[in-house]
Amino acid sequence: MDQPIPAFATPTETAAGATWHRYPTAAMVGDYLRAAAGLVPAVAILATTPFSEAGTIVLGGFAAIFAIFGLRTVLRHGTSLEMTDTDLRAIGIWRRTIAWAELDRMKLAYYSTRRDRKSGWMQLELGARSTRLGLDSRIAGFDRLVRRAAAAAAARDLELSETTIANLHALGLAPPERWGGR
Amino acid sequence: MLGYLVRRILIMIPTLIAISIVIFIIINLPPGNYFTTYIAELQSQGEHANLAKIAFLEQEYGFNKPLWLQYLYWTVGLLHGNMGFSFLYDEPVTRVVGDRLILTFLVSFTTILFTYVVAFPIGVYSATHQYSLSDYLLTFLGFLGLATPSFLFALVLVYLAHVWFGISIGGLMDPRYLDQPWSWGKALSVFAHIWIPVIVIGTAGTAAMIRRLRANLLDELQKQYVVTARAKGLPPLKLLFKYPLRLALNPFISDIGSLLPHVISGAVVVSVVLSLPTTGPMLLEALRSQDMYLAGSFLMFMAFLTVVGVFLSDIALAMLDPRIRFHATAGQ
């Protein structure tokens, strides 16, 4: 079977049984470069060339997308996740906590820019009440996070989308019987 | 999703640069340029060209400069929204394309709408009533539509309209509205004429879509989860619309990107046959006369539409069904 997602890095484990998850710097460098590759030319062209209103809106929109992406990369790089039996805590620039007992949303998506759908990455979105947390498969120990989230979702009897179930199967994280999947 | 969006945008930029280089090289492949073709044409008619004016224009538009420099001027102009000057029409390209582009979009958009509106119910019906008499009839009509060249269909319609009703169905509006500013009368005239080109251009695409939707849906309907859902007593319509139809639509979403340029370029011959004032015949004439800026800028515009279309369909697909597909092959 093809393995379209690269192997996951190992998280740090504490004596208390919690695990620490961080985005490796090497993975973040690519995102910083992507943000710069979009933002710098867009801003430079906007600053030096007179454009029509529509052109300014389009180029300004692109610049805004890359700026938001750069900001998100900084936030991710400066944030660590601590996973315990009871909750998942984001510690760093942007602090958030998702209690497993309150999990009310879980979505696992897979994205690839290639036509053969290889070399892609996964995106896990978790929610509990008004708190939302999104992380991608480059974070250390992504598989452990997904496994724990899937277990919490099963315990909470959450309805998962077809896509999420299919992606859980693809990760080899056998979901409970009620999510049989396809 | 934001990461996907950023990566897709970054892929678009080198793609567009590569396309612009290919377009520029192909347009410059034939020997000479618009002016040498123009001089040769005049000489063949026994007339003399104003060589001083031509030399001035060649100098003005950089035809005597190295190719890479000409490319640079052209692309920088495009970035500023300046599509160049049409020597054939003696007008800026934007003005030449202007009205034709609106009419082309109108015809193309209506054709796409026609294709979807007709193909979807027929495709779904054909799949859910496989091997019934109506399925055979619709399949036969589908094959007929696929096998008939659009220009031939156009010629047949023109002939029948003339012989049976004594009317001309060419053009997109009454001749009195040609080159007139837009008005309610002109718009109504366009809507009264548009159905013929829409049917002619859309028939082949509609037939192809019926076949594909039928095949995709049949594949899905035979899967185990559908059998299970049926066995559990899920109402047939709910079952059909909730899962199999949604999954059968994925290839169509990924096709949206190539639909618009395909409809525009595929309609060139039909536009010539039906005398439609769209961009197709204009592009053909620009390529024949080596009107570099008109042909190049318009081709680049179409390439831009394709790239943006593929981008939008990829985004739509990623939003609708972001799942791993093992053993996926190119083209899926």
B232 at the A interface (CB within 8 A)? Answer: no
For residue A109, give how far its alpha carbon lies from the nearest alpha carbon of chain B (Å).
5
Residue B45 structure tokens: 């008619």
- Tell me the C-alpha distance between A129 and B288, whole Å: 65
The total number of structural domains that make up chain A:
1
Cβ distance of B10 and A68 shorter than 8 Å:
no
Nearest to A117 among B5, B225, B325 (CB): B325
Cβ distance of A34 and B321 shorter than 8 Å:
no
Question: Strand A19-21 vs strand A12-13: parallel, antiparallel, or unpaired?
Answer: antiparallel
- ipTM, two decimals, is 0.80
* Range list of β-strands (E), A15-153: 19-21, 79-83, 87-92, 96-99, 105-111, 121-128, 131-136
B231 at the A interface (CB within 8 A)? Answer: no
Asked if the B93-320 domain carries CATH number 2.160.10.10, the reply is no
Cβ distance of B9 and A38 shorter than 8 Å:
yes
Cβ distance of B323 and A163 shorter than 8 Å:
yes
* Range list of β-strands (E), A19-156: 19-21, 79-83, 87-92, 96-99, 105-111, 121-128, 131-136
A7 assigned to some structural domain: no
Question: Strand A87-92 vs strand A96-99: parallel, antiparallel, or unpaired?
Answer: antiparallel
Q: Please classify residue B227 by burial: count the beta carbons closer than 10 Å to its beta carbon, then call 0-12 exposed, 13-18 middle and 19+ buried.
A: exposed
Q: How is residue A179 annotated by DSSP?
A: G
A92 assigned to some structural domain: yes
Question: For every one of its 332 residues, what pLDDT tens digit does chain B have, with 9 covering 90 and above?
Answer: 888 888 888 888 889 899 999 988 888 887 777 777 777 777 777 777 677 777 777 777 777 788 888 888 888 878 777 777 787 887 888 888 877 778 888 888 888 888 888 888 898 899 888 889 999 998 888 888 888 888 888 888 888 888 887 777 777 787 777 777 778 888 888 887 888 888 888 888 888 888 888 888 888 888 887 888 888 888 888 888 877 887 777 767 766 766 666 666 657 777 887 788 778 888 888 888 778 788 888 888 888 888 888 888 888 877 777 776 654 443 33
A163 at the B interface (CB within 8 A)? Answer: yes
Q: Which residues contact B256 (CB under 8 A, 6 or more apart)?
A: B309, B312, B313, B316
Residue B136 structure tokens: 């055979």
A84 assigned to some structural domain: yes
B190 close to B196: Cβ distance less than 8 angstroms: no
Indicate the domain borders of chain B: 93-320
- Tell me the C-alpha distance between A154 and A176, whole Å: 7
Q: Provide, as residue numbers in chain A, all residues whose Cβ is less than 8 Å from the Cβ of B81.
A: 51-52, 55
Which residue segment(s) compose the domain that A58 sits in? Answer: 12-175
What is the number of other CB atoms lying within 10 angstroms of the CB of residue B214?
24
Cβ distance of B324 and A65 shorter than 8 Å:
no
Q: Which residues contact B244 (CB under 8 A, 6 or more apart)?
A: B217, B220, B221, B223, B226
Which residues, listed in sequence order, are joined to residue A82 by a DSSP beta bridge?
A20, A89
- Tell me the C-alpha distance between B75 and B91, whole Å: 19
Helix, strand, or coil (residue B110)? helix
A5 assigned to some structural domain: no
Cβ distance of A170 and B324 shorter than 8 Å:
yes
A180 assigned to some structural domain: no
Nearest CA in chain B to A73: B3
A3 assigned to some structural domain: no
How many CA atoms lie less than 13 Å away from A43 in the CB half-sphere?
A: 11
A181 assigned to some structural domain: no
| Inter-chain contacts counted by CB atoms under 8 A, chains A and B | 85
Which residues in chain B (71-90) have CB-CB distances under 8 A to chain A?
Answer: 79-81
- Tell me the C-alpha distance between B42 and B5, whole Å: 53
Cβ distance of B324 and A35 shorter than 8 Å:
no
Which residues, listed in sequence order, are joined to residue A79 by a DSSP beta bridge?
A92
A165 assigned to some structural domain: yes
- Tell me the C-alpha distance between B169 and B162, whole Å: 8
